[in-house]
Chain A
Amino acid sequence: MNKHQYTILYVDDEQSNLRIFRLSFKRHYNVITANNGYEAIEILKKENVDLIITDQKMPEMTGTELLEKTLENNPDMIRIILTGFSDIQSIVKAVNKIGIYKYITKPYDQGELKITLDKALESNKLKLERKNLLEQLEKKNEELEKKVEERTHNLRVLNDRMVESLEYGSLVQRNLLPSEKQLKSAFTDHFVLFKPFDHVSGDFYWFTEFEKAGKNYKIIALMDCMGHGVAGALQSSMAISYLWQIVSRNELTNADEILIELDNVLSEANISNDNSHNSMDGSVVVINETDQTMCFAGCKSDLVYFENGEINHIKGERFSIGSSWNKDEKTVTKHQLDPKKTDSLYMFSDGFIDQMNHDFTKKYGRKQLLETLETIKEKPFSEQNNHLSENLSAWMGKTEQIDDISLIGIKP
């Protein structure tokens, strides 16, 4: 142990005891001595003392009184009482009240006292180090907390800005969709169940009606662009623009031709844009009001319809529009339907059937959707919409929605 590492203050009213202590321990510690309690207090004001060892029985101020007075200014100092008589009771009280490390009875054994002092100093050193480390840790945590607060604030500002932008985007996107009024005037009845995963959606539906060669056409499409959120929404805006171009410019009136043309445009765009892989699933229904014909085509998107009360299910092609499939293999079938016999038809994106249940173990599934539609086929459309929505909510429980969900019901 470094001789000068620790300072010990020894207090005793007998000069001979002070001299013996100094001589015994000066080789091991910085030893300071005091003749009485008042002198000791004065020394403590000037010196940095690690351990005080005091005689109990002194005139004017006893050892325990002295130690009590040192508590306020030297709380971490080790306190030891040296007592020449067996006033154990008052010492025990002091041990609890003042936090005395140990009392030693006179005469003391020098070797044993040395061990006691070393042990006390060492454990006090560790205690102070621990206290110091805790203080440092507290300070660091305080700094960290301030940083977290600052970053949280910055993130909140950024998030608010993004949400504001997305909400505006959502408004813009909804304006691109056909209005309720438009659909209401076009069909006997209809409903739209549209639940974007995020503020903006990769799903969209599209409608137009026009006259060509004296015949009235109504075309409705439901598309599900790859991804969701902003990426899906940008694709959907692009796809809406393509649909307008394809149908208006080319006056296409066959569902399969519309999808093929959309695939051409999207595939070309993908190639010219560094082979990107923008693709979408979707279906189109074209109603020729004049000739009372109706056709459907779908790419990875199905149609469910009721004909004379019987449920029918047409599966879409196995490829996505704009996907990298071999062009020769991308054939789209046009399915003819009879609008006079068709009670109702349903177009939907995969968001509904892929939705996981409450414990994330099962998808809603196509089969269950068909069964649900079968059970509600007689209900008015407004009720069907509510039923499907509630049914899906019950299925999900607290599980989060995993994709954009769209389902359109139409009575032609």
Chain B
Amino acid sequence: MKANAIDIKNWANSNISPLAWKRIVLRTLPTFNEFGFELDQVETPESNLILEGKLLHTVFESVDELYRVEVPAQLVMA
């Protein structure tokens, strides 16, 4: 299971709040750091930043904890 970071960012900022991605990123930053990503790389992700495994799971958890919503299935690739 994987998803493009930009797709999740666009979805969150358009459907939840303009600051949603910023908040999600701050909450998940330690995990992103573990994978070698810095704040600016995640906040403005490049089009080829694919999230999977622990990273994707952490993002999903963060979306749920912060906003009590689920990332739409159509954003997730098999």
Interface residues of A (CB under 8 A from B): 134, 137-138, 141-142, 144-145, 148-149
Contacts and interface: CB of A to CB of B under 8 A. Distances in A.
Interface of B is mostly: helix
Contacts of A141: 19, 22-23, 26
Shortest 9 CB-CB contacts between residues of A and residues of B: A145-B19, A138-B26, A141-B23, A145-B17, A141-B19, A141-B22, A137-B26, A144-B19, A148-B18
Interface residues of B, number: 9
Nearest to A144: B19
Contacts of A148: 17-19
Contacts of B18: 145, 148
A149 B67 CA distance: 13
Interface of B: 17-20, 22-23, 26-27, 29
A97 to B, nearest CB: 16
Nearest to B26: A138
A141 to B, nearest CB: 5
A134 B17 CA distance: 20
B27 A138 contact: yes
B17 A149 contact: yes
A235 B70 CA distance: 51
21 contacts: A134-B26, A134-B29, A137-B26, A138-B23, A138-B26, A138-B27, A141-B19, A141-B22, A141-B23, A141-B26, A142-B23, A144-B19, A145-B17, A145-B18, A145-B19, A145-B20, A145-B23, A148-B17, A148-B18, A148-B19, A149-B17
A69 B29 CA distance: 27
Given A138-B26, A141-B22, A141-B23, 18 more contacts: A134-B26, A134-B29, A137-B26, A138-B23, A138-B27, A141-B19, A141-B26, A142-B23, A144-B19, A145-B17, A145-B18, A145-B19, A145-B20, A145-B23, A148-B17, A148-B18, A148-B19, A149-B17
